[in-house]
Amino acid sequence: MAKKKTARKPSGAGTGQPPEPANKKQWNYDQIRAMRVIHCSDDEIATLCNCTTKTIERAKRRDPLFRAAYEQGNAEGRQTLRRAQAHAAYKGNATMLVWLGKQILGQRDVVRNEMTGENGEPIKFANADEETASRIAALLDAARTRRADAPSGDAHNVGTPARPTKPSPSK
């Protein structure tokens, strides 16, 4: 007796994996990469690929070729942007020089806010009782001590504590 031929098992059968759906999305990986180079959002990619953002998110998790194209596009887009910024800075764009200094070199603006009373004198608290006034004075002394003890290079990171304003009247 001849052996009966069995039908071929669908993909995934017997492997513990669900079979691939017949309507599985086919991707143009070059298009995905190109869209990420110009920083298209997942929503924009979904619109251009005629699918949902959930499909894009699923493809990033499950499809290694999609994920590779997506990440390569991200990297190329960042490189291109960084190159353009550096070019603008080297041509003398002061704003770009400052911005790149902050981003790459960790430079930052130091803004000190100090509040004073009339003629530069300390703020007077007319409605403060003695206990509140002594607590405020202790806080100010602690802040001054902390500022004085800060290493010289880090003094701008400590900041100048804002002095309390006149308390609002109690109801």
Domain limits of the chain?
A: 29-105, 112-171
Is residue 35 within 8 A of residue 48, CB to CB? The reply is yes
- The dihedral over CA atoms of 117, 118, 122, 127, expressed in degrees to the nearest 10, equals -60
Calculate the alpha carbon distances from 50 to 29, 76, 136, 167 in Å: 15, 24, 63, 59
Q: Is the pTM of this model over 0.85?
A: no
Tens digit of each residue's pLDDT, the chain (171 residues): 566 665 555 555 566 666 555 557 899 999 999 999 999 999 999 999 999 999 999 999 999 999 999 999 999 999 998 899 899 989 999 998 888 888 878 888 888 888 888 888 887 767 667 788 788 888 888 888 888 777 655 444 444 445 555 555 554
